[in-house]
Amino acid sequence: MEDISSMLPLLLLFVVMYFFLIRPGMQKQKKEKKYLEALKAGDKVVTKSGMHGKLLSLNDDGTCVIETGAGKVKFERSALSMEISEKLNASVAKK
């Protein structure tokens, strides 16, 4: 009985870490994967480095071509920012 009560704080710490750190990270990762799979040519996107553009093509090798004011640029899909792109598209939809 004493062994269980001595392990209880450690078990409680693990449960708290799971619900506040691990689980939200996994949910965000799933949401971002869904977003990247739903992209299509013509969508307006923003990269994580802040470059704005319009998707021209999505390639099978995990890259995409974005048209910016400076020309066409090839990026990895993972470089696209879900949060910033959604904010951009939401603000454009309001206008």
For the chain, the distance separating the N- and C-terminal CA atoms, rounded to the nearest angstrom, is 65
pTM score, whole prediction: 0.71
Residue 51's CB is within 10 A of a number of other CB atoms, namely 17
Are 45 and 91 contained in the same domain? Answer: yes
The per-residue pLDDT for 1 is 66
Taking alpha carbons only, the member of 43, 55, 23 closest to residue 88 is 43
The length of the chain, given as a count of residues: 95
Same domain, 32 and 50: no
Domain identity same for 94 and 78: yes
Q: How far is CA 70 from CA 31, 36, 58, 66, in A?
A: 30, 24, 19, 10
Asked if residue 90 and residue 60 are part of one domain, the reply reads yes
Question: Do residues 50 and 92 share a domain?
Answer: yes
pLDDT in tens, 37-78: 889 999 999 999 999 999 999 999 989 999 998 899 999 999
Q: Rounded mean pLDDT of 8-33?
A: 93
What domain range is 31 assigned to?
1-38
pLDDT in tens, 75-94: 999 999 998 888 888 877 76
- The reply to whether 89 and 48 lie within a common domain is yes
Could you give the number of structural domains in the chain?
A: 2
Supply the CATH number for residue 73's domain.
2.30.30.140
pLDDT band at 26 (very low <50, low <70, confident <90, very high): very high
